[in-house]
Chains A and B, each alone.
Chain A
Amino acid sequence: MAKKSVVSEAKEIQTAIEMIDLGARLQLLESETSLSRERLIKLYKELKGVSPPKGMLPFSADWFLTWQPNIHSSVFADIYHYLLTHADCRGIAAIIKSYKLYLEHCQMSEMEPVLSLTRAWTLVRFFEGRILQTASCTQCGGHFVVHTHDLYSRYVCGLCHTPSRAGKTNKSRVAALTSIAATSPAAPIAS
Chain B
Amino acid sequence: MKANELTMEIKELNLTYLMLAQQMVRADKDMAIFRLGISKDIAEILAVLTPGQILKLANSNMMLCRIRFDDNLVLGMLANYGKEKTMMQSHAAILLAGQPVEEIS
Knowing A74-B94, A83-B33, A141-B98 are in contact, say whether A88-B89 is a contact too (CB < 8 A). Answer: no
Knowing A71-B90, A159-B91, A167-B87 are in contact, say whether A143-B98 is a contact too (CB < 8 A). Answer: yes
Count residues of B near A (Cβ-Cβ below 8 Å).
24
Interface stretch, picked from A40-48, A52-60, A97-105, is A97-105
* Number of interchain pairs (Cβ within 8 Å): 80
Q: Which of A75, A83, A141, A162 contacts B34 (CB 8 A)?
A: A83
Q: Roughly how many angstroms separate A143 CA and B91 CA in the complex, as a whole number? A: 10
Count residues of A near B (Cβ-Cβ below 8 Å).
31
Q: Roughly how many angstroms separate A171 CA and B67 CA in the complex, as a whole number? A: 38
Which 7 residue pairs spanning A and B have beta carbons closest together? A78-B97, A87-B30, A109-B89, A142-B94, A111-B86, A87-B33, A89-B30
Chain A residues proximal to chain B, CB less than 8 Å = 71-72, 74-75, 78-79, 81-83, 86-89, 94, 97, 100-101, 105, 108-111, 136, 140-144, 159, 162, 167
